[in-house]
A and B are shown apart, each in its own frame.
Chain A
Amino acid sequence: MEVLDLRGEKCPDTFVYTKIKAEEMGYSGGGRLKVIVDYPPAVESIPRSLAEEGRGYKVLEVKHLGGRTYEIYIEVPAFEE
C-alpha cells in the first residue's frame, strides 16, 4: 500500500496531492493508497472530489486516529489509457 502523508496541508492542496498520487498509481496499474490528513474538512472533500473525477476511485475506509488526524483508504483502479 502506498502512503501519502498530508499532515499540515489544507484544502485544496490536500486534493491536489491526492489526485496527483492517485493518477500516478492509476497509470501504473492501480493499487491501494492511504492518505493521512489533519485538516478535518479534507475528510469529506477528498472522497467527494475523487468521486467527481469519474475514474472509479473507491474510498474503502476513513479512520479517525484521534485529534485532528484521519486516514483515508482508497482503492485506485488501473486506468485504461
Chain B
Amino acid sequence: MNLNEIKRYSRQLILPDFGTKEQGRLKRARVAVTGAGGLGCPISTYLTLAGVGEIHIIDFDRVELSNLNRQFLYTPGDAGRQKAEVAAKRLGEINPEIKVEAITEKITYDNAFELLKGYDAIVDGTDNFAVRYAVNDAAVVNRVPLFHGAALMYEGRAMSIIPRETACFRCVFPEPPPAGMIPTCREAGILGSVVGIVGAIQASEAIRYLAGLEIGLKNRLLIINADEMRFEKVRIARSSECTACGERFVPKPVEEVCAVAEEVEE
C-alpha cells in the first residue's frame, strides 16, 4: 500500500475485522458490475471508493435525461454517450489507485457465460428479467459469487449468491413473472434514493465478501419497502430442481416481456 492508499482507505482500515490484509484482498479483486444504471451507479461507486482493484462496468446503453433522477455518475452533458464509458472515466478520476474498464456489450443469454468468466464477484445492476437470468446462470456455471439486487417503485430486493453453496436467483424465482403481470407504466417509476439503498447493500455485501468477511444475505432475501421503511429478511434455500444450480444445469433463456423496459424496441 502506498501512502496515498493508506490515507484514502484509513477510515476503513481502522474498522474492526478490517485491516491491511483485507484491503489487500480488495485490491487484488476483479469484479464485474452488470449495468451502469440506477443500481450500477451506487454499486460501482462504492466498489471504487472501497478500493476494489479492477472493476469492469458492462452496459451497452446510452445516457438519457430520464436517467438523471437516480444515475448520479452522469450529467446532462453526457446525454447520448455510452454509460459504461462515462462511468468508467468518472470512477477512474474518483479513485486513480484502481483500474476501471468499460465494456459496452449487451449481455445476452448467448454471450453471458463467456463475458462473465474469471471474476471474483459479479454485482448485478441489470433492469430486466432476460439479462438477470442470464447473469444468474452464467455466475452459477462459472462459479462466480453474485450479488443480486432489484428496485421498482418504492420496493427493493437483494440477495447474495455463492454458487452451489447458497440459493441462487433461479432457486427462488424459477421463472420470470407471467406476461399478465407485466408492470404498468406507473410501476416503471423509481426514486433515486430507494434504488441507491439497494445498490449500497449489494456493494456492502460484495466488499465484505471480497475482503474475506462474513456476509448477511446468503440464503436470505432482503425485501425493502420504502413506503414504510420496512426491511424484512426472508429465509430461502437451494432447490435440487433448480435448472441453474440443481443436479443438472439446463440452459433456459428468458424472453424480455416488460413493455416498459426502456430498451424495448418494436
- A, B in one complex: yes
Inter-chain contacts of A11 with B (CB < 8 A): 185, 188, 259-260, 264
- Chain A positions within 8 Å of B264 at CB level: 10-11
* Residues of A contacting B186 in the complex (Cβ-Cβ under 8 angstroms): 12, 15, 49, 52-53
- Smallest CB-CB separation from B261: which chain A residue? A11
- Which of A12, A42, A46, A48 has a CB less than 8 Å from the CB of B188? A12
Tell me the chain B residues, 118-155 only, with Cβ under 8 Å from chain A.
none
Q: Which residues of B contact A41 (CB under 8 A)?
A: 259
Per the bound structure, the CA–CA distance linking A13 and B260 in Å amounts to 9
Interface size on A, residues (CB 8 A): 15
Interface size on B, residues (CB 8 A): 9
Q: How far is the CA of A81 from the CA of B260 in the complex (A)?
A: 30
User: Chain B at the A interface: mostly helix, strand, loop or mixed?
Assistant: loop
Query: A52 CA to B260 CA in the complex, in Å?
Result: 16
A14 to chain B: which residues have CB within 8 Å? Answer: 185
Q: Is A28 an interface residue (CB 8 A)?
A: no
How far does the alpha carbon of A42 sit from the alpha carbon of B264 in the complex, in Å? Answer: 13
How far is it, in angstroms, between the C-alpha of A52 and the C-alpha of B185 when the chains are bound?
A: 10
Question: Is A45 within 8 A of B66, CB to CB?
Answer: no
Across-interface contacts of B260 in A (CB, < 8 A): 11-12, 45
B235 to A: closest C-beta gap in Å: 31
**Cα–Cα distance between A22 and B103 once the two chains are bound (Å):** 41
For the complex, give the distance between the alpha carbons of A48 and B188 in Å.
13
CA distance A52 to B248 in the complex (A): 42
Residues from chain B with a CB closer than 8 A to the CB of A10 are 264
A52–B259 touching, CB < 8 Å: no
Interface residues of A in 29-67 (CB under 8 A from B): 41-42, 45-46, 48-49, 52-53
Q: What per-residue 1/0 map shows which CB atoms of B179-191 lie under 8 Å from chain A? A: 0000011101100
Cβ < 8 Å to A, chain B residues 170-197 = 184-186, 188-189
Q: Please, how many angstroms separate the alpha-carbon atoms of A41 and B182 in the complex?
A: 11
A48 to chain B: closest CB distance in Å? 5
Chain B residues with CB under 8 Å of A12's CB are 185-186, 188-189, 260
Contacts of A46 in B (CB 8 A): 185
Query: Given the complex, which residues of A lie within 8 Å of B185, measured CB to CB?
Result: 11-12, 14-16, 42, 45-46, 49
| Minimum CB distance partner of A14 in chain B | B185
Report chain B residues within 8 Å CB of A49. 184-186
Determine if B66 and A52 form an interchain contact, defined as CB atoms under 8 angstroms apart: no
What is the CA–CA distance of A59 and B14 in the complex, to the nearest angstrom? 61
Closest A residue to B185 using CB positions: A15
Question: 17 pairs across A/B with beta carbons < 8 Å?
Answer: A11-B185, A11-B188, A11-B259, A11-B260, A11-B264, A12-B189, A14-B185, A16-B185, A42-B185, A45-B184, A45-B259, A45-B260, A46-B185, A49-B185, A49-B186, A52-B184, A52-B186
Binding site for B on A (CB under 8 A): 10-16, 41-42, 45-46, 48-49, 52-53
Show the binding face of B for A, using Cβ within 8 Å. 66, 184-186, 188-189, 259-260, 264
Q: What 7 pairs between A and B have smallest CB-CB spacing? A: A15-B185, A12-B185, A12-B188, A49-B186, A49-B184, A41-B259, A49-B185
